[in-house]
Structures are given as structure tokens and as C-alpha cells.
Structure 1
Amino acid sequence: MDSHSSSSVIIVGAGVSGISAAKVLAENGIHDLLILEASDRIGGRIRKETFGGVSVELGAGWIAGVGGKESNPVWELAAKSGLRTFFSDYSNARYNIYDRSGKIFPSGIATDSYQKAVDSAIQNLRNQEAESGGHHSSTSKVTEPPSTPIELAIDFILHDFEMAEVEPISTFTEFGEREYLVADERGYEYLLYKMAEDFLHTSEGRILDNRLKLNQVVRGIQQSRSGVRVVTEDGRFYEANYVVLSVSIGVLQSDFISFNPPLPRWKSEAITKCEVMVYTKIFLQFPYKFWPGCPEKEFFIYAHDRRGYYTFWQHMESAYPGSNILVVTLTNGESKRVEAQPDTDTLREAMVVLRDMFGPDIPDAIDILVPRWWNNRFQRGSYSNYPIISNPQVFYDIKAPVGRIFFTGEHTSERFNGYVHGAYLAGIDTSRAVLEEMRKEKETEDGSQTQLQEPLLALTESLTMSQSDTVSNLHKCDIPTQLYLGGKRGITEAIL
């Protein structure tokens, strides 16, 4: 099924980056834009679902970086929209570590283990810095890998749950160290709908603007010197001067979208070097609460001899009192393993862990919800994770445009990759780059028009001469040649 639609800019993906990019373009007078979204909703990796009678966030669920010297732009959007949030205090989690017999590790042991893990992470960073510099540092020394259940649990918290940075994280140094859980029936995605209202036609919370097309699965992007054609799975095609590609780094790595001509080698190699994190929040509902429900017990940890095995838990009593919901977070290998098995197997495994911590008499869960970000072909993971010590050129190459195709997403945010505000700011940054390129192209076209007019002026002047002068000084066959050559010199070719 063919269709033809021409726009100034096509944005592929209606997640945070795509919507923020479209908003900036519209604010700068680019109204003939088109947003193509593969799924039946906007939001990308921000997604809510009703579970146990409340709204839970399957993907991004926190606003991280609040209370600092600068205001987090996503926090500002949440405040403006009246989004319901709750402060998350992780500081007590390390003192709520259960062993497999249901006993909580003494606070002294937990503190010592935590400090040992931090010291080891810092030393490993120094070792990596020394190795990347090509020399052996006097401060280099071998660190023992975690081996005991509590060491494995804390290592998981530091490197998988809190992410791998052990130096100050840009988000926290820039915006503050507080984090707030989004617990709003409208969902985290409500912020995107509020942004969309500024430039798309909406009614009663629904987007009705035909510039947003849902269920349009982009499978190919064809680029020429004059423009870009986007081809969808159902045979439709759309044409534009520029494309903003707001898909995840996992989708780029999966070759889900083909490029003609192919992406240059420097681009494709950079894309493969970025690590994709898979972050899975499994929701369990019970007939009644059997765990400590006080705020200082909101987060608790299970120490198992297998790293990352149902390690980090949270109760939802602070956000949704009486909901009787627990959440357990898995990452990477464990996430992929759980995604590949039936939910009944996951429920069975989770119940064994909970009975280790709280005894054999606790009730069975009455419902379970398991997101599958890795097996979702429109996402292929949760967020990007650049190595602590890495070549900055890799990031720049991932972000760099290729001809008329511009790339955006949280993976193109140098300082805030992996965060919602990183995606938001990346969309703004990319749209500004597109606007600048459009300005340059217009200046080139205006210059070309000026050069095209010069031969015409010369021809007009010649026609005012006497007929004999005209015949003797200008041969008729020279006129189109001069016009062609004059125009050719003034045309700047697009970069491929």
C-alpha cells in the first residue's frame, strides 16, 4: 500500500526525545512535520499499565536529580502538570539485607560490606584509567571480586541498580541527589501529552492531529542528495527534507531499520560499541501485606549466591497504601532469562525467594506483571550504558548526523544518558541542529538563486543592444549553455 506525503522533517519515534524535538521544531515555525510511531501510543520507554487497581510504570519510573543548584527540566514539567510523586529514600536499603534463612544482616556487617564494595569499585576505576593511559600506576592493585551472598548483592546494587558510575554522576551534581517515584494514575507519560498539546491538536486528553501517525513501523530509510524517504512495514512511504531518528540504541543495533545507502562504517561501528542495559521491574500483588510497611523498610535486598537473582525489592505502600504490591528489579542476563520463560515460572521463583525472607506461611501472589523490554522489537532494551572509561569519539560518532538523517535519544546525551531528562534535552539539542542545517541550506539556495539571476540580467542587457550587436556578440546556442553553467556553479551539493 503506497502513500505519498512530503514534509520538512519526519521524526521517527514518539518517545521523550521525539516529542521534545517536534515541539522545538514547531515553536520555530516548522509546522509541516510528521511523527511516525511504531506502537499504538506515545511515550516510548515510558509506559504505564493498570495493575492491582493502580497505575504502575513499566519503564522509567523515577525523576532522578532533584534539589540541586539547577532545576531538572523534567521535574519542572512534573510540577507544572501536577504529577503525583513520592520521595524515594534508598539510604536504608543496605540495612535491610535478608539472607536465605530470613535473617537481616547486622548493620555493621552491611556497612563494612558496602564500604568494601565502594572502595573496590574506585580502585577498579583507577586501574582502568591507568590501563587506558598506557602506563602502570603505582596505585594499581588487584581487587578481589565479590564472592559471598552479601557482597554479590551489594555489588549488584552499586553497578546494576544504581548504575556503574562511582565518580560524581552528572545528574546528581547538576540537578541534585533526590529521586522521586512517579505514582500518578495519569502515568509518567502524561508529561508527553502535555508537551504535545503545545503543538498538536488534542481533545479531552487525546491527540487528534494527523501529523502524529501511530502504528507506523518504520523499516527503511532511503537518502538522496535532495531528501529522505521513510518506508514502513505496511508499504507506505513518506518523504521529507530531513529525518530525526528517535529510536533506542538497541533498535539501532538490531538492524531493525535498514539504510540505503548503508550507514558509514564509523557510524555502525560506534553503534555496536554502546552497551544496552535491560532493566525489568516485576510486579506482584498479594491478598494482604506480610512485609514491614514502614517507609524505612520500603526497599529491601535479598542476598543469594547467584548475583542479581531477585535481589532488589520495593513495596508500594508509600505510593499506593493498601495496594499490597511488591516490585522486584532484575537486570541484563536475569532480565533476558525471565523474559524467555513463562510468567508462571517467574512467579514460582519469586515466591521461593519471598518465603526465604518471610517464611513458608506467606500467601501466594494473586497476580504478576512481567514487562519484556528486551524482546520488544520496538525497544530492544531499557537504556544505554557507556563504559566508565571509554573513547569519547564513540559517543560523538553515535550522535553525529549522516547527511540528512539526525540521531537523537537518551543515548545521544553526553552528560545524562540513561535518564528521562537526558532524552528530553537530547531531543531539544537535535532539533536545534536540524534548524541550523535548514538555515544553512536556505542560505545556500538563496546564494544559488542570486548566481542564477546574473546570466539572465546579462541576457536582458544584451537584448537592449542593437540587433547587429546582438547577433555579432551573442550566438543563440550560447544562451542555455551560459544559464546552465552559471547555475551549476552556485549549487552546493548535499553531503552523503
Structure 2
Amino acid sequence: MKPSVVIALAAVLLVAAQYASLADAYGPRVIIVGAGMSGISTGKRLWESGVRDLLILEATERVGGRMHKHNFGGLNVEIGANWVEGVGGDKVNPIWPIVNSTLKLRNFYSDFDSVVGNVYKEDGGLYDEDYVQQRMDRAYEVDDMGTNLTKMMDPSGRDDISVLAMQRLFNHQPNGPATPVDMALDYFIYDYEFAEPPRVTSLQNTNPLPTDADFGEDSQFVADQRGFESIIHYVGSSYLSTDANGAISDRRVLLNKVVRRIAYNNRGVVVKTEDGSAYGADFVVVSTSLGVLQSDLIQFTPQLPFWKIAAIYRFDMAVYTKIFLKFPRRFWPVGEGKQFFVYASRRRGYYGMWQSFEREYPGANVLLVTVTDDESRRIEQQPDNVTKAEAVAVLRKMFPDADVPDATDIYVPRWWSNRFFKGSYSNWPIGVNRYEYDQLRAPVGRVYFTGEHTSEHYNGYVHGAYLAGVDSANILINRIFRNEEYKVRGKYDNQAAEVNGKVAEAK
């Protein structure tokens, strides 16, 4: 280590040690890095437990993270999280009552079953609905076989395979989906949910999907001018000051504070920001995205241990891009069963998933097309006018008999290129189990971690981010008030417990 680095480290840790000496008198101070759902949820739980000295550092100019409304053509549309997924089951998704009962945000049931009647040929016109339904039924039949297969897999994850391997096993897609229809339906079932293709997505940890199994299979699309992010402001309002519109405006939430270094030892932490400021505390909770942790935005001093770094890099940060297009007039069909339509291209994921907003925003003449993964990265790197031309060309192929005008406006979010996010949400890769998840959320000394990627069952979802904040706060609360260190479960603990149980039964 260079002498200058040693001196700088000594200086910041001295600040931490000086602050820590006051902790017993005033209670512990906790810095939370990030004002998204997990960060605000963490703060709420800490506050409820009696930890009152909180400071939240947010890199951007707003509270909300990946829940982000954007004014497009006079409408506030959601460029990030948009759905409450997991509604209608026996258990209640914790986000649903806030949306539907407390805030009463406008929301609409998403009729994904109607997709089979709206699959368009590459050269225009609809595929026969009965044929598409047969292919969809077969896809879901194989998906159910995959669910049964996971029940026989070792909980350690050592038997895990990809979703594509499962399809091959049941002779559904031995070489991957080949026809445009099979490819489009496969994309709709998997990529549209996980933002990555079946060949890289874990079967064991996504099938059955815990969100659907626990909370229900319905999805409610939030389309409210207050924005989906108003949920975060509501959660934070229990311990943070808000303005007349209910938005967080507390002096303990500092915006445009880009954290670049976190120095820590057994006495405390110092968080340094890009503007040269330094903040001392007893603990820090890092709620940045997995993509940021995988980048070099934040330097940890000393460097995080190998087991932590390895866990961070074992998980995928997927890219899910919602492209908004405005037209001078409507040319696409609307009405019952016409909310979603699919372009069955021979090129997987090429402007395939379309959504009409006629029900949510009548007369707005806005369409949403979703792309993911490599297509997202490709589109982020090209000018928007090129993307607009590509998307309109696809629509003209889908509707050859319609007079499809040029789009008057386009908005392309760039989650992957944005250094404060580096992607949309995490996806569970092959061969990773709860042991690695425990490592991912495990603290390193006085540095704690949270985020949707640390949710044991619901990574990638808004409710996962909310619950992860609560879970991570509880881990810190146990450390503060009970001096309990977080224990990472052994990789084969579940297996050992099962074996021991069978031995006990035999006796």
C-alpha cells in the first residue's frame, strides 16, 4: 500500500474512532448509502428499534432509486419498477395494501393470458390463436415438469441446472426454441420476467417462483401520476420529514452525495463522497444495486474479503429496458384482450414485447416496448433516433395494412450505462444457493449490506427490496442491542438437517 494511502486511511479511521467514543452516550450512528426502497426500509426498521441517529446519503438528485417516474409526452410514466407482482394469493404482498388501500394509486390488472391472441408474424398479420395456445400450453406443461424436478434437487444447489437444460431434458427445446413463435413465447415466459434468457437462469431457484407461490400469480400495473416511487416516500414518512406533497424532504437525507470510499475498522466507519466530504459513524448499511457493487464506484478500505467479493460477482445484474414511443395517432388495436402484443421475430428479443396504454392513459397514443439483456445493452449505445427508426420499422411489419406514422417522441432509459445503477435488477444464476445468498447479505465488520439482491426469496422485486431492508436492519439491530454476530449458514446445513431428521425417524 502506498504511503499516501496509509496516511489517508489513518486519518479517516481516526475520525471514526473519535466518533465511536461518543456512541455510548448518544446511541449508535448509522449511515445508509442509497435512498431507494431498501435503504428507506432499512432506516424505518432501525428507527422503530430505537436507532435514531441516521444519515442517508443518496448519489442522485432524488429519492426513489429504481422506482422512477419520468414525464413523457405530458404523462408521468414508470421507467423502472411498474408492477406489484404477486397478488391474489393466500399471503399478502406487503406492497399491495400500500398501493391499493393506503395511497390508492391507480392500478390495473395485467391480462397476460391474452398474449396468445396477439402474436404477430414477422411479415405482418396474426398467428392462429389456437396454434399459439397449443405452443403456450406445451411450454407451461414443461415448466410444471421443471417445478416437480426442483423438488427432487439437493437444497445445496449442487444439482441445479439452467431453465434451458430442463427444457432439453423434457425434449421441449433440445436446441433452444427454433421457430419465431416458440422463441417469442419462451421470451415472454422467462426473459420478460427475469431479464435474462433461460440458458443462464437457475431452474432450482426460480421454479416455482417464490413470489407467485407465496403471494399469488396476478400482477397489478401501477399508472398513477404521483408515481410508483410515492410508496418509498410513504414508507419513509414514518421517520423522515415530508413536504406538502408527501415527498421526503428531511435534512438527514442528503442528495447528490456520491459515495466513493468506505473506510472501516473495529471502532467505526468513515464514508467519503465525491465532493470531498467525510462522514463518520458506528455502522454503515450499503443499499446500492448489485451492479454498483460489481463496479469500481465505491472503494472499500480495507478491501472486502475474498468470500464477499466472490459472492458479489457470482450473481447477475440483469438489464430490463422499457422504451416509450409517442405517436400522433393510434393505429394499433385496443379493447378487451388487446393490452399486450408480441412481435415473433427470428431474432430473439428484438422489439418483441409491446404494451398499449389506451386503458391506463386514454388518448395518449403511447406504446411501450420492452427489451432485455444484449438488446438492452446494444440499444443503450446507439442514438435514440436509430432506436426509434428500428421500433417503428417493426410496427410497420406487424401492421402492414395500417398507415403507421413516425413516432413523434421516444424515451430510452439507460440503466446499464448509469454508474449509479449498472442494470435493472438481479437475476439468480445457475448453481448458487442460500449459502451464497447469506454471504451476499452478510456484514463485513461494521459494513452491512441490503438491496433487492439480498432478498432470500424475492430478489428482483419491489417487495423483495422492501423486505430485504427489514431483514438487513434486523441483522444490524441484533448486533447493536444483543451483540450477536451474523452467522452464515453452512452450504450443506439444510441437507444435514434433512439427513438427521430421517435418522431420528428411523430410531
Determine if the TM-score, normalized by the shorter chain, exceeds 0.5.
Answer: yes
Residue aligning to 2:58:
37
CA distance in 1, matches of 2:356, 2:30: 44
Q: Distance in 1 between matches of 2:231 and 2:270?
A: 30
Partner in structure 2 of residue 237 of structure 1: 278
Is the counterpart of residue 333 in structure 1 residue 354 in structure 2? Answer: no
**Hey, what's the Cα distance between the residues in 1 that align with 2:66 and 2:382?**
22
| Gap change, CA 1:374 and 1:13, over 3 Å in 2 | same
Do the aligned partners of 1:99 and 1:304 also contact (CA within 8 Å) in 2?
yes
Aligned mate of 1:190, from 202, 213, 230: 230
1:27 corresponds, among 15, 29, 48, to 48
> CA-atom RMSD, angstroms?
2.6
Q: Deviations over 1:254-300 (max 9, x none)?
A: 12111111111011011111011100000001111111111301100
Cα offset, 1:442, TM superposition: 11
Distance 1:173 1:221, change over 3 A: same
Picking from 186, 201, 215, the partner of 2:241 is 201
2:95 & 2:179 partners in 1: Cα distance?
Answer: 39
User: Which residue, 53, 57, 61 being the options, matches 2:82?
Assistant: 61
Number of aligned residue pairs: give it.
441
Q: Are positions 1:315 and 2:356 aligned together?
A: yes
**Matched residue, 1:146:** 177
1:300 paired to 2:341: yes
Q: Does 1:383 align with 2:405?
A: no
Compute the displacement of 1:134 (Å): 10
Taking the aligned partners of 2:403 and 2:412, their CA distance within structure 1 comes to 24
Q: Which of 419, 440, 453 is equivalent to 1:398?
A: 440
Q: How many percent of aligned residue pairs carry the same amino acid? A: 46
**What's the secondary structure of 2:113's corresponding residue?**
coil
TM-score scaled by length of structure 2:
0.82
Report what 2:480 is aligned to. 438
Taking a change above 3 Å as real, the CA distance of residues 201 and 140 of structure 1, as seen in their structure-2 partners, is closer
Q: Quick one: distance in 2 between partners of 1:299 and 1:148?
A: 20
Give distance in 2, aligned partners of 1:80 and 1:371. Answer: 29
Match of residue 256 from structure 2:
215
Q: State the Cα distance separating 1:121 from its structure 2 match.
A: 5.2
Find out whether 1:179 has 2:219 as its counterpart.
yes
Q: Deviations over 1:390-415 (max 9, x none)?
A: 33322111111111111101111111
Report what 1:227 is aligned to. 268
In 2, the alpha carbon distance for the partners of 1:276 and 1:133 equals 23
Contact 1:153 1:308 in 2 (8 A): yes
Structure 1 unaligned segments of length 5 or more: list them.
444-496
CA distance in 2, matches of 1:129, 1:26: 41
Between 1:199-208 and 1:43-52, the stretch displaced more is: 199-208
The 8 Å contact of residues 129 and 389 in structure 1, kept in 2 or not, is answered as: no
Q: Distance in 1 between matches of 2:44 and 2:275?
A: 27
Does 2:266 match 1:266? no
1:115/1:156 CA distance change after superposition, 3 Å: same
Aligned equivalents of 2:372, 2:251: Cα separation in 1: 38
Q: 2 CA distance for matches of 1:134 and 1:333?
A: 24
Q: Relative to structure 2, which stretch is displaced further, 267-276 or 106-115? A: 106-115
Q: CA deviation at 1:159?
A: 1.5
Q: Per-residue deviation at 1:422?
A: 0.4
Deviation per residue, 1:429-481 (Å, 9 max, x gap): 111111110113499xxxxxxxxxxxxxxxxxxxxxxxxxxxxxxxxxxxxxx
Residues 11-51 of structure 1, C-alpha deviations (whole Å, 9 max, x = no match): 00000000011111112222211000000001100000111
CA distance in 2, matches of 1:231, 1:123: 51
Q: Partner of 2:405 in structure 1?
A: 363
CA distance in 2, matches of 1:74, 1:309: 32
Which string of whole-angstrom CA distances, capped at 9 and with x for unpartnered residues, describes residues 175-215 of structure 1? 11111111110000111111222111222134332110000
Q: Match of 1:93?
A: 115
Q: Is the 8 A contact 1:123 1:140 kept in 2?
A: no
CA distance in 2 between counterparts of 1:116 and 1:145 reads: 14
> Contact (CA 8 Å) 2:159, 2:431: kept in 1 or not?
no
Kept in 2, the 8 Å contact 1:412–1:426? The answer is yes
For residue 130 of structure 2, what is the amino acid of its counterpart? Answer: G
1:390 and 1:160 map into 2 onto residues whose CA distance is 19
- Give the AA of the match of 1:376: N
Query: Residues 123 and 180 (structure 1 numbering): CA distance in 2 closer, same or farther, change over 3 Å?
Result: closer
Shift of 1:151: 1.4
The answer to whether 1:162 aligns with 2:204 is no
Q: What letter matches 1:99 in structure 2?
A: K
CA shift at 1:144, angstroms?
3.4
Tell me the secondary structure at the aligned position of residue 437 of structure 2. Answer: helix
Give 1:81 deviation, angstroms.
1.2
8 Å CA contact retained: 2:37, 2:462:
yes
- Describe the shift of the 1:141–1:157 C-alpha distance in structure 2 as closer, same or farther (beyond 3 A): closer
Q: Contact 2:478–2:484 at 8 Å: present in 1 too?
A: no
Please tell me whether the aligned partners of residues 286 and 325 of structure 1 are also in contact (alpha carbons under 8 angstroms).
yes
Q: How does 1:476-491 map to 2 (within 5 A)?
A: none
> What is the TM-score normalised by the length of structure 1?
0.84
Any idea what SS the aligned residue of 2:347 has? coil
- Tell me if structure 2 keeps the 8 A contact 1:14–1:42: yes
Task: Report if the CA contact (8 A) 1:13-1:44 is conserved.
Answer: yes
Aligned-partner residue type, residue 226 of structure 2 = R
Residues 134/273 of structure 1: CA separation in 2 closer, same or farther (3 Å cut): closer
What does 1:417-456 align with in structure 2 at a 5 Å threshold?
A: 417-441=459-483
CA contact (8 A) 1:219 1:257 kept: yes
